[in-house]
Amino acid sequence: MLRLPPINLQSPETIQEALKLIAAGDVRVVAGGTDLWPNMKRRHQKAETVVSLMSIPDLDIIDSNSSDIRIGATATLADIIRDDNIRDRFPAFAKAVASISSPPLRNMGTIGGNLCVDTRCNYYNQTEEWRRSIDFCLKEEGEICWVATKSPRCWAHTASDSAPMLCALDAKVRLASVARERELPLRDFYVDDGIDYLSRQPDEILTEVVVPGTSDDAHCRSAFWKLRRRGSIDFSTLSVAAAVWTDDNNVVTRASMYLGAVGSAPIPVAEAESVLVGNKITEHGIARIARAAHKIARPMDNTDFATSWRGKMIEQYVTAALREVAGLPPLRMQPRHTLKVL
């Protein structure tokens, strides 16, 4: 049995108290702990002091009654799925959250934790003994990336399922530190690097997610498709999030698409906007976007399935997501992501 190393666990009762503890340095922040605790057991991540956010009142509030939906960082994934307004107004976002892991872990996992979840790799997410046997990788004290041995950077892939969908919906996040608070588009929260994958500063806490009302189901159509080996538990090996805004004549006025799990950050598919805006969604346009998505994605030997097959599935899943948005008949079976919460 893998055990946690000895730690000093702090449970502040205010944001200000938590920020002071984090400003002292050499600490990790935890919410639901569904990712951090296993990683610390395997010695991927280390810290003498861990600061829990779960005792801070109101950090878990979900305000879905106003135009913009505001979700506190420690709101659980299960509570998000339970919210009727979120399911009705942002069905693809609810679907993305429902696809994360399993009911017990969604009952513990938080939206802030999922947005900040560590990048993953076949050569990193192993026991310490396994990693030591081949020599540690670049992401942990080593000098080589075993995915691309001649590359100077780490290619661990983004593991958040909520991030691509929220990026497509133009969500923002609020960050707080002792010195300031700031708000930035979620798309700018991520950095394309397997090690330094967040633009968050070491002394900052993600406190809130804001999903604009202009991205709800009354204004745009959205879809989320996820590829993994099993229908639950497993991390994504590919996800596609699409959002399309149209006028009264079904002519596209805005379009946004992001790919997950095929790079170290959610990858925007710019062609979704350049091909669709000013036009109605057609099968020809969908095919152009699917081919473009295949070219820009970077599936590598860092997760499940053969990389060549994952590359081919990018076109298939992009096509499926856009056909769903367009209301066209599906050409493949929809992945099953139940919204039922246990």
Could you write out the DSSP letters of every residue in 150-161?
A: T-SS--PBP--S
Question: 165 and 92 in contact (C-beta within 8 Å)?
Answer: yes
pLDDT 10s digits, 304-330: 999 999 999 999 999 999 999 999 998
Q: Are 182 and 208 in contact (CB under 8 A)?
A: no
Lowest mean pLDDT among 87-91, 120-124, 169-173, 337-341: 337-341
Output the pLDDT for position 333. Answer: 67
Q: Report the pLDDT averaged over residues 61-81.
A: 97
Those residues with Cβ within 8 angstroms of residue 146's Cβ, 6 or more apart along the chain or in another chain: 121, 123, 134, 137
Average pLDDT of 111-125?
97
pTM above 0.85, yes or no: yes
| In the predicted structure, residue 294 carries a pLDDT above the cut 90 | yes
**Domain 216-326 carries which CATH code?**
3.30.390.50
3-class SS at 183? Answer: strand
CB distance 30 to 51 below 8 Å? yes
Least Cα distance to 101 among 225, 219, 215, 230 occurs for 230
Residue 1 has pLDDT above 90, yes or no: no
Pairing of strands 8-10, 238-246: unpaired
Length of the chain: 342
- Averaged pLDDT score across all residues of the chain: 94
For residue 195, pLDDT beyond 70 = yes
* Residue 184 pLDDT exceeds 80: yes
**Quick one: pLDDT at residue 305?**
94
Average the pLDDT over 72-91 and give the result: 98
